[in-house]
Amino acid sequence: MREKIIEGRIWVLTGSDGRIIDDIDTDMIFHNKHLHITDISEMGKHALGNLEGWEDFPEKAEKGDIIIVGKNFGAGSSRQQAVDCFISLGIKAIIAESFGAIYKRNAINSGLAILECPGIFGVGLKNGDFISVNLETGSIKKDGEEIIKARPMSSVQMDIYQAGNLFEYGKSMGQQQD
């Protein structure tokens, strides 16, 4: 069973002006010049490599970190590598104002913990802060105090997350019917 309460250091994706970056597309997350890479363990070193100011993210990120992003994160193509690069780095969760529809589905199917949290940028979080996120309730806490509530995972999303990904979830459903 995977943890339902995630704790970790955060990265808040802002521009050089300190403002949130909305509409980060899959090409900014994982540039198309790296699409020849098929080994997930190699994808992490290219995460955010095409997002101005964040090209060195893979060198700074640590296993267990949490990413906070703006609106429409993962817009654009159905590029699975844009999810897999974060899995490769060991990112525990992505919290966004909103996600691009295809990116959201790919992340859920891959077992990456994602939550939508409109207003997340209004609570004063900054890079390096340590938060805890309850995936079942959506409660986000800093220093033990709830600072905002995200939309919790649906029961199906939680089941897929707990299984590890959609394929493992499907296998477990098949085994239950035997």
pLDDT for the residue numbered 68: 98
pLDDT for the residue numbered 178: 55
Contact 78, 23 (CB under 8 A): no
pLDDT for the residue numbered 33: 94
Contact 113, 64 (CB under 8 A): no
Determine which helix (DSSP H) or strand (DSSP E) holds 163, and give its type and residue range: helix 155-163
pLDDT for the residue numbered 173: 80
103: nearest Cα among 164, 25, 15: 25
Tens of pLDDT, residue by residue, the chain (178 residues): 799 999 999 999 999 999 999 999 999 999 999 999 999 999 999 999 999 999 999 999 999 999 999 999 999 888 999 999 999 999 999 999 999 999 999 999 999 999 999 999 999 999 999 999 999 999 999 999 999 999 999 999 999 999 999 999 998 887 776 5
pLDDT for the residue numbered 77: 85
Contact 47, 94 (CB under 8 A): no
User: What's 34-65 look like in SS3?
Assistant: HCCCCCHHHHHHHCCCCCCCCCCHHHHCCCCC
Contact 127, 5 (CB under 8 A): no
Determine which helix (DSSP H) or strand (DSSP E) holds 174, and give its type and residue range: helix 166-177
pLDDT for the residue numbered 177: 65
Q: pTM here?
A: 0.95
Residue 118 DSSP SS3 = coil
pLDDT for the residue numbered 129: 98
Residue 36's region, left for phi above 0, alpha for psi from -120 to 50, else beta, is: alpha
Which residues 6+ apart lie within 8 Å of 178 measured at CB?
none
Cβ burial, residue 135 (10 Å; 0-12/13-18/19+) = buried
